[in-house]
Amino acid sequence: MTTPQDLLLTEVHPAGYAVLTLNRPQAMNALSRSLLTALADEIDRLATDPGVRVLILTGAGRAFCAGLDLKEIGAGEGSVGGLKPSGQRAKDPVQALARFDGPVIGAINGAAVTGGFELALACDILLASPEARFADTHARVGIAPGWGLSQKLSRVIGPYRAREVSFTGNWVPAEQAAAWGLVNRVVPADDLLTQARALAQDMLGTLPAMLRRYKAIINEGYALPLGEALALERQRAAAFNSEVDAGGVEQRREAVRERNRRS
């Protein structure tokens, strides 16, 4: 019998980032109730840890995540649309990722299907191995998206491409995903986590407050019309710049010096 700890592996690096690995490789890291709970709880726990400012999310084995565990759902044990058979709402890892105020890097090592695709879209930056591929099979399996895929995907790759992906359930391979802007870049499989860690280290070379605020302004502004987003930027800039003092200036200088030492 596996424990929640077995289903999700956590590595906290002293530099200030954590690696979360979905660990059901025999089931393509499908999201069972236990894994849903473990993932959401662990993200929320790390969000309260001042020593963790960046998350890396990946999967064990040949898949990133195959989505909700359809075998569990078919047996009446899983959750559909966030609801357990009892009618109680299941833990939501996508909302947990939204609550994490630092960057989240998705290291997409293999197939990301339906709910797993939505989990990838909840990350801020995506690196993909050549084995990565994406599919939205909601229409095929008869489960409506509830973690944002129907709205986020069209904003990332455009509505025409998004309709093709979602109406067919066909695969989008890694190189095509990169060409469409769905992933930042494709890297060799054996270098995927190395590059994700290096990217996390680069982010950790910035000021902690700025890293959090920059993520917030990008994500919140993207959900607004351009005029409102620009007004939000001005408002946030005025509020933040008014807080800067000599100590803040010295912090910025030290961050630049540290970045130069590492480069």
What's the predicted TM-score (pTM) here?
Answer: 0.87
At residue 117, the 3 state secondary structure works out as: helix
Domains and CATH numbers, the chain: 4-204 (3.90.226.10), 208-262 (no CATH)
Strands 133-135 and 111-113, sheet pairing: parallel
pLDDT of residue 70: 83
Neighbouring C-beta atoms of residue 34, cutoff 10 Å: 18
pLDDT of residue 188: 98
pLDDT tens for each residue of 109-131: 999 999 999 999 999 999 999 99
- 3 state SS for 65-124: ECCECHHHHHCCCCCECCECCCCCECCCHHHHHHHCCCCEEEEECCEEECHHHHHHHCCC
Q: What are the residue ranges in the chain where pLDDT is below 50?
A: 1-2, 82-83, 85-88, 245-246
Q: Are 43 and 96 in contact (CB under 8 A)?
A: yes
Q: What sign does the CA torsion over 157, 66, 19, 192 have? A: negative
φ, ψ (nearest 5 deg) of residue 138: -55, -45
Neighbouring C-beta atoms of residue 182, cutoff 10 Å: 24
Whole-angstrom distance, CA of residue 260 vs CA of residue 263: 5
At residue 109, the 3 state secondary structure works out as: coil
Burial of 167 (0-12, 13-18, 19+ CB in 10 A): exposed
Whole-angstrom distance, CA of residue 211 vs CA of residue 226: 22
pLDDT of residue 85: 43
DSSP element (H, E) containing 134: strand 133-135
To which residue do tokens 């993200």 refer? 43
Look up residue 4 and give its two tokens: 């929640």
> What distance, in Å, lies between the first and last C-alpha atoms of the chain?
46
Strand order of the β-sheet with 54-59 is 8-13, 17-22, 54-59, 104-108, 125-128, 185-186
Q: What sign does the CA torsion over 203, 150, 38, 8 have? A: negative
pLDDT of residue 39: 97
Whole-angstrom distance, CA of residue 9 vs CA of residue 53: 18
pLDDT of residue 257: 63
pLDDT of residue 154: 97
Single out the residue of 217, 210, 215, 212 nearest to residue 236, CA to CA: 217
Give the DSSP letter string of 193-213: HHHHHHHHHHHHTS-HHHHHH
